[in-house]
Structure 1
């Protein structure tokens, strides 16, 4: 995931430093090009499972017939070979894909009685990998991390842990997602598709993420692990605090 790179210090002299690897990967579903993504190398099986699920191209791992990973290409065959699809990113960033303007009436809503405590939030954030060149996302259930991944992009990291959860038969309605960086509308959408009721990030959420979370039942906690930690939506899911 990292490569040793020789560079020149600004004050002179050579130094060797770690540089995060990145791999462009074209995703083909049933022989048709879906999109191209930039990923951290490795762990493509978890990523593609979570990605196809959060893009609502599959409803579970049992709909995947096969996955073939080649250099710069991930080819997926589903049990329905005629299935077509397109990416459903709420906000288009980078190249490829199609914009889907926000209509919360068409998004899934959260139906879970899960509540978490402030100490549980603190423990989950503390268990994340130390801040570095990659974003990290973890799924926590019953007070323990059940899936954790790092990637250049926190949205990819979220897909990776959702994919791992699907492959492990995890009940997402009893989990919370914890990640580095800010909560975005795209992270919110992915949590809604997976029925994850609580999203916690070390940075503040975007205004659009808050709007969607409020209208769909998702609890969003921002700036976790800092004195600025706050509950932005559905504080009733956090035990021991009042709105």
Structure 2
């Protein structure tokens, strides 16, 4: 995932540092171009499974007939070869594209009675790789990490762990997603699509992410593992918070 690159240090002298590799990958579904994404190399099967699932193009890995992975292209054939996909957007355009708004009624609602403890959340975030050039996401179940991935973009990393969970028949309704960086509305949407009830980050959520989570049953925890740790939405899912 890294390549050694020569560079010149400010103040003089040539040094060699690790640079994250970036691979533009075109995604085709049933012969039609769906999107092009920038990914870290490798693990494309996990990514495409999770991506198609969170984009609601498939509802289970069993709907995938075949996946052909090349250096800069992923070609997917679904069992319904007439299936046409489109990329979902959390933010929709209003009349003439002049207004943006969220239609939360079109988003899934979390269906889970999961409640997790503060130590479980702290342990999940602590298990993430050390901060670096790549974003990281992990899925934890019962305090145990069951999937972890890194990528240039945390949205892609989330798709990767969801894809791995799908292939291992993981019950997402019993899991916590832990991540680095800012929690965005798109990360919330992907958790809703997978029915992941708790999203915790070492960073903070956006106001829009909190607004959507409030209306859809998703718990968001920010600054996890620090003295500033706080619950931004659906605090009833978090036990042992104290007075």
Tell me the TM-score range normalised by the shorter chain: over 0.9
2:3 corresponds to = 3
The residue number in structure 1 matching 2:54 is 54
Which position in structure 1 is the counterpart of 2:202?
202
Q: How far has the Cα of 1:223 moved from its partner?
A: 1.1
Mapping of 1:142-181 within 5 angstroms? Answer: 142-181=142-181
Distance 1:66 1:80 in 2: 12
Residues 53-102 of structure 1 deviation map (CA, whole Å, 9 limit, x = unaligned):
0000000000000000112111000000000011003149xxxxxx9952
Deviation (angstroms), 1:241: 2.6
Unpaired runs of at least 5, structure 1: 93-98
Structure 2, gaps ≥5 residues long: 93-98
Taking the TM superposition and a 5 Å limit, the aligned residue runs for 1:178-189 are 178-189=178-189
Contact 1:235 1:242 in 2 (8 A): no
The 5 Å alignment of 1:129-140 reads 129-140=129-140
- Secondary structure of 2:28's aligned partner: strand
Mapping 1:36-185, distance limit 5 Å: 36-91=36-91, 101-185=101-185
For residues 205-240 of structure 1, the C-alpha deviation after alignment (integer angstroms, 9 at most, x for no partner) is 000000000000000001112221110000000012
The structure-2 alpha-carbon separation of the partners of 1:56 and 1:65, relative to structure 1 and needing over 3 Å to count, comes to same
Task: Give the conservation status (yes or no) of the 8 Å contact 1:149–1:160.
Answer: yes
CA gap 1:132/1:199 in 2 versus in 1, 3 angstroms: same
Contact 2:125 2:178 in 1 (8 A): yes
> How far apart in 1 are the matches of 2:108 and 2:156?
20
Query: 1:116 and 1:135 mapped to 2: Cα distance?
Result: 24
Indicate the residue corresponding to 1:95 in structure 2: none
Instruction: Confirm or deny: 8 A CA contact 2:121 2:143 kept in the other structure.
Output: no
Give yes or no for contact 1:64–1:77 (8 Å, CA) kept in 2: yes
2:24 is matched with: 24
Distance 2:222 2:182 in 1: 7
- Equivalent residues of 2:188, 2:213 under 8 A apart: yes
Whether the aligned pair in 2 keeps the contact of 1:88 and 1:100 (CA below 8 Å) is: no
- With normalisation by structure 2, the TM-score equals 0.95
How many residue pairs match? The answer is 237
Query: What's the CA shift for 1:202?
Result: 0.9
CA distance in 2, matches of 1:89, 1:144: 32
Measured in 2, the distance between the counterparts of 1:79 and 1:85 equals: 13
* Runs of 4+ deviating beyond 4 Å: none
Specify the alignment match of 1:214 in structure 2. Answer: 214
Q: CA RMSD in A?
A: 1.5
Q: Deviations over 1:98-150 (max 9, x none)?
A: x9952111111012111111111111111110110000000000111000000
